Structure 1
Amino acid sequence: MAGTRLYLVIIGDIIRSRLRQERAALQKRFQTALGYSALKFADRVISPPTLTIGDEFQVVLPPDGPVFELLAQFEFSMNYIPFRYGFGLGGISTQINRKAAIGMDGPAFYNAREALETARKSGFIYHFKGAGAPYTQSINLLLHWMSLKRASWKLLKKQSYYLYHHRGMKQKDIAHRLEVSQPAISRIIRDPAFGLTVDSSRHIELLWREAQG
């Protein structure tokens, strides 16, 4: 991949969206959450999170972009309606659209689409593809481990994860915000898998940065 500028494309979609009631309210929440993410990360993405077809969205980031910070904030805004994600690393062969993550083409998009289909078939939340990208197997082992752990987390744990690791809130403030006891939050944060999930996401982002060379 030397000499080719790489981009990281994320395609996300709602799991079993057609089975959900109140579709109009869901779509409104979806659009609001994407709009907020687009504003919050405007100076850190290539093309902002954009609703595409059905219940899917796309976003284009540089290889050193805030992937898991963006997804954590987005999922919090969506109140953890379950999503799956395909991550694709590669070039973009068309002109970059800075206003919306649509109207572009190239290997980064093909890889993200294929990764999403693999995630859908395998049942994992996350999957990655980057033709020729180093460490692809290692990245997917970590992504699949994170998928299994995240799937087992209850809502309180997911909310605590975001507020503690991505908002930097103190335990007492998280407890007050979520209307639970501080010892309950402390037990969640002390869970070894809680910290390992953070470490795994940071290591994956490091490997993506190194792929650009």
Structure 2
Amino acid sequence: MFFLFDYSPYIAIIGDVKNSRNIKERKEFQNKLNEILNEINKIYSDSIASNFTITLGDEFQGLLYSGKNVMNIIQYIKKESYPVKIRFGVGIGAITTDIDSNISIGADGPGYYKARDSIEQLKILEKKKESEYGDIQIKIDGDNNFQELSLNSILKLMYCIEKEWTKKQREVVYYVLFEKQNQTETARYFNVTQSNIQQILSKTHFYAYRDAFNSVNKILSEVKRNVKL
């Protein structure tokens, strides 16, 4: 086992929209974000203990009882929100209050504390102009410092790869990642040659990125509760 827990923790995810005041059509984006979260709640319902919910104009949160789809959820939100950027705080720990499965408001505990700490740390790193701070931070309750360091190191390396993608490269990468199509099918979808897709995947370091993506999902899949509430 990768994690050290003597109880079954939850995974809390808090999303915080960057520079939300600079979004020209804020109401339209909030409506779009609400639609994205509704899709997440449908697609990944088997992992969700409390549905993803907008809590403030520029924040949302959700609670998972299984970690197997954490990266899928985060990257889906990033894909659908682009070019708007979002920072994600992930907290692994207990929830000490009642949980409403329909809406992620009111629940509290170390899981959410850790997710909030992650968001605040990302904001501090951004203010310090540390260029490789990333956009996802994980904090874990208990004696899991090594595990936390390892996961965040992988996430930072993934960010270093991802931040160099062009819009077109990003579309191709996300298509291959989520639709799980080969190069030939991807080329047909984008109406380009297979060699063109091969070049894009090579320039974006897609296969290294995908391996890291799958590794984080696999590690986090160890976090699971026996019963869905």
Q: TM-score, normalised by structure 2?
A: 0.83
Distance 1:35 1:212, change over 3 A: closer
1:85 maps to 88
Question: Which one of the candidate residues 44, 48, 60 is aligned to 1:57?
Answer: 60
RMSD over aligned Cα atoms? 2.2
1:39 maps to 42
Deviates more, 1:199-208 or 1:175-184: 175-184
Q: Name the aligned partner's letter for residue 130 of structure 1.
A: I
| 1:145-179, Cα deviation, whole Å (9 max, x unpaired) | 11222222122222222211221123344345445
Q: Which runs of 5+ in 1 are unaligned?
A: none
2:74 maps to 71
2:158 maps to 146
Deviates more, 1:77-86 or 1:53-62: 77-86
Matched, 1:186 2:198: yes
1:202 maps to 214
Superposed displacement of residue 192, structure 1: 7.0
1:96 maps to 99
Q: Does the CA contact (< 8 Å) of 1:6 and 1:63 recur in 2?
A: no
In structure 2, C-alpha distance between the alignment counterparts of 1:68 and 1:3, rounded to whole Å: 25
Q: Percent identity?
A: 25
Question: Which one of the candidate residues 19, 35, 45 is aligned to 2:22?
Answer: 19
Matched, 1:122 2:112: no
Which has the higher relative contact order, 1 or 2, with Cα contacts under 8 A spaced 6 or more apart?
A: 2
In structure 2, C-alpha distance between the alignment counterparts of 1:20 and 1:165, rounded to whole Å: 28
Deviates more, 1:44-53 or 1:107-116: 44-53
Q: TM-score, normalised by structure 1?
A: 0.89
Superposed displacement of residue 127, structure 1: 0.9
Name the count of aligned residue pairs: 213
Distance 1:31 1:193, change over 3 A: same
Question: Which one of the candidate residues 182, 196, 204 is aligned to 1:170?
Answer: 182
Q: Which runs of 5+ in 2 are unaligned?
A: 127-133
Q: Name the aligned partner's letter for residue 135 of structure 2.
A: I
